[in-house]
Amino acid sequence: MREFNYSKIRERTWDSDILGLVAAIYKEAGKQEMYRKQRPEELEKLVEIAKIQSTEASNAIEGIVTTSTRIRQLVEEKTTPRDQNEQEIAGYRDVLGIIHDNYDTIPITQNYILQLHKILYGHMNNPIAGRTKNVQNYISATYKDGHTEILFTPLSPFETPMALDRICEEYNRVIGNCEVEPLIAVPIFIHDFLCIHPFNDGNGRMSRLLTTLLLYRAGYDVGRYISLEAQIAKHKDLYYEALRASQDHWHEGLDDPLPFIKYLLGIILSAYRELSERFALVETKRSALEMVRLAT
């Protein structure tokens, strides 16, 4: 079975693109802290919008859809699911809400990941909920012209529980010991999670929820205000390209996660920059109002 040793990440020499992305995220995260201190009420107004966009976008990537009105009502818990799509949407809402409210008390372990997966299917009577896969699955992509292509064959069902334990152990170890920059460790964990593909269904949605969870725990909670899932949905083709480029020779431990790291860091940075743009727009409107007051 594929071996996991995240300490080896320290041996990598990162190119200027990676270093530039990390530095830019640091800078934007600093701006967010300023907004949090100076304009907390305006920042808080973005939370519910982001929840709705995240729930809608992450499910839509998997072809799970309903109307925008129903999405809003489901996320705000003003209605109950009326079909399977809405049951899955409500499940995503539930897990996202738990992460928003309790991220700092959710340990990164297989048991907790299984619990979150069970909650994802909590509105359905689904025997796969909260259990690792029992049949071989595949990572495939559906393109704009309608054709589907198998990109990767994940680990077998037999190997999956041990591998899921191992990536959790490795991630916790290098983060706990401050061995690896979290902005590098998070994409590597998510990439390995996707290559293991531990569930019969729900792997993509779980990977996005875990991305949010890991980033929150590392102090990067831009996803609370700007939907990371919506950013991913905008660049879905780039997601498949990065995943394919990073998966070659993964089973042998000879893969290069660099394309996926760059992709995910780019998603995080785009969310931070959108947050800055929104606050810049608000500031511009404020300035215009102040000018009118001064003129009267």
Domain for residue 237, yes or no?
yes
Domain membership of residue 188 (yes or no) is yes
Q: Could you tell me how many helices (H) and strands (E) the chain has, helices first?
A: 11, 2
The arithmetic mean of pLDDT across residues 264-271, rounded, is 98
CA distance 58 to 55: 6
> Which domain range does residue 25 map to?
6-63+132-295
pTM over 0.95: no
In a domain, 97, yes or no: no
Q: Convert the pLDDT of each residue in 16-62 to its tens digit.
A: 999 999 999 999 999 999 999 999 998 999 999 999 999 999 999 99
**pLDDT tens, 75-108?**
999 999 999 999 999 999 999 999 999 999 999 9
pLDDT at 289 over 80: no
Residue 221's alpha-carbon distances to 25, 63, 227, in angstroms, are 12, 27, 10
Number of domains within the chain: 1
Q: What is the pLDDT of residues 169-227, one digit of tens each?
A: 999 999 999 999 999 999 999 999 999 999 999 999 999 999 999 999 999 999 999 99
User: Can you give the pLDDT at residue 278?
Assistant: 87
- The fraction of the chain above a pLDDT of 90, given in percent, is 85
For residue 152, the domain's CATH number is 1.10.3290
Q: In this structure, is residue 114 part of a structural domain?
A: no
* Domain annotation covers residue 125: no
Strands (E), 21-155: 139-142, 148-152
Quick check: is 23 in a domain? yes
**Does residue 230 form part of some domain?**
yes
Is residue 73 domain-resident? Answer: no
